[in-house]
Structure 1
Amino acid sequence: MNPKILIFSLVLLSILTGCKSDSKKSTDAKTEEVKEEAMPATEVAMNTLTQSEIDDGWVLLFDGKTPEGWRGYKKDHFPNGWQIVDGTIHCIGSGRGEAGNKEGGDIIYDKEFQNFTVSLEWKISEGGNSGIFYLGQEGPDFIWKTAPEMQVLDNEKHPDAKLGKDGNRQAGSLYDLIPAKPQNAKPVGEWNQVEITVYKGTVVHKQNGVNVVEYHLWTPEWNELVAGSKFPSLNKDWADVATKGYVGLQDHGDDVWFRNIKIKNL
């Protein structure tokens, strides 16, 4: 064979082999890429903390299995009107609204907090009403007489959604004082993720990833805001919110569910 032809053949063979190798590498890389894209993100189990959250100082307030740490307001036990079911704390609706259930009543976590962020999820029943209290005190007959409340509500069917001023009784709002804006609560049957941050009087309500309420306690503006609400007629000292208190969940006579309750001291 002509030496020139032999050399050309060998060079051509080398090029073709290299192309096949590069093509295979490219195909393998694409296959790996597809595998990575198809692999679902790891889901965090309900009512647990990730290692990152633990390292960041978060603490669970509900283990998903027992009412440990929770008790009735001004009671030494967890009331029968509430139950632990399917990884949730469930307030059993009485069908009597504010008249409530004699076996129920509001519940609190049995530890006071001062500067903190509390995070949880809630789901309301059709036409339902409830709330999340913070900086609450024991003494009066109801925790709402001492504590600010983040409203939990079916905005579509409960009458409270149309009462108050400018929607300040809708979900996420500082009840009867400051409306949640934007109003981004999810419909009945869906879970809403919320956070409440309290730090030296500054308070922020976050609902479904968005800050919807911001205010500052103990200021002239705060006192003026409270004076224009329904609270002074119900409790003249309502504006004097404590600097430290309990986190509470409201029994308003309707079915409501809470889960993934955790807190971080600031």
Structure 2
Amino acid sequence: MRRLFSFLLAGTFMFAIACTSSQKKADSAPEEKSAEVEEVVADNTLTQSEKDAGWVLLFNGETPEGWRGVNKADFPGGWEVEDGTLHCKGSGQGEAGANDGGDILYDKKFSNFHLKMDWKISEGGNSGIFYLGQEVEDWPIYKTAPEMQVLDNLRHPDAMLGKDGNRQAGSLYDLIPAKPQNAKPVGEWNSIEIICYKGTVVHKQNGETVVEYHLWTDDWKALVADSKFPELNENWADVAKEGYIAVQDHGDDVWYKNIKIREL
């Protein structure tokens, strides 16, 4: 019995030592991270995964390389590269003062693509993003291209015009309203995406799909005929299957950055 008691006592002592040692190891082990740390990406750059997926930059943040005025050979004086952005210098006269700048385009046509960029608008400002646009002598590009609206929804009168908010930020201008309407206020950056594939077009704003439609269909032609531009019905109804990406000079300060595209 005494031997059995001694054996049990020794076993209990060894078990206590083992538990204490295990606890010390657990206490000294580094804490596991509960969540992955998001990769911080500098503006106007691509991650390796984006490069591998076929994304390319349309703006390097340092020069206007690749950009020029619509129906012009040069980059217009009304625009500048400022702090890593393409900046349209506001005239203070709205659309009437846009003559020194004018709309600018990236000098390559795209057909099926996924476009991303960020925009920031000035107080009371108005601008837009065109796609599948064409250059026609003496014509502004809006006569040939669908437009994703860029706007200060709180102050610019266009936000109250049109139908059901179809001139507010993110909308297919004057045709389909952005829903939900999730544009951020003046001074904050908005992230947008435009996906165009064989006539199916999607607008995304700040991570949410806000517009979806289909080019060249009867529904599309009816939308155009009922829009602000019925006289442009032939041109808009026959939007080209390949065209330019452009941004609008509406006479107001607006900034664009992180402009990138992946051809589909």
TM-score range, shorter chain: over 0.9
Structure 1 distance, partners of 2:99, 2:180, is 36
What is residue 50 of structure 1 aligned with on the other side? 47
**Amino acid aligned to 1:15:** F
**Amino acid aligned to 1:77:** D
What is residue 74 of structure 1 aligned with on the other side? 71
Q: CA deviation at 1:40?
A: 4.1
Structure 2: which 5+ runs fail to align?
none
Q: CA deviation at 1:37?
A: 4.3
- TM-score, with length taken from structure 2: 0.93
SS in 2 for 1:170: coil
Structure 1: which 5+ runs fail to align?
none
- TM-score, with length taken from structure 1: 0.93
What is residue 113 of structure 1 aligned with on the other side? 110
Deviations 1:96-127 (A, max 9, x none): 11113332111000000011111111111111
Deviations 1:139-164 (A, max 9, x none): 14211111000000011111100000
| Number of equivalent positions | 262
Deviations 1:59-85 (A, max 9, x none): 111111111111111111111111111
Does the C-alpha gap of structure 1 residues 234 and 242 become closer, same or farther in structure 2, counting only changes over 3 Å?
closer
1:233-248 equivalent positions in 2, closer than 5 A: 233=231, 237-248=235-246
Structure 2 distance, partners of 1:236, 1:40, is 51
Q: Percent identity of the aligned residues?
A: 66
1:171 to 160, 169, 172: 169
1:1-266 equivalent positions in 2, closer than 5 A: 6-29=6-29, 31-33=30-32, 36-37=33-34, 40-139=37-136, 140-233=138-231, 237-266=235-264
Q: CA deviation at 1:52?
A: 1.0
Contact 1:47 1:63 in 2 (8 A): yes
Deviations 1:186-215 (A, max 9, x none): 111111111111111111111111111111
Structure 2 distance, partners of 1:20, 1:102, is 80
Contact 2:120 2:256 in 1 (8 A): yes
SS in 1 for 2:235: coil
Does the C-alpha gap of structure 1 residues 43 and 79 become closer, same or farther in structure 2, counting only changes over 3 Å?
same
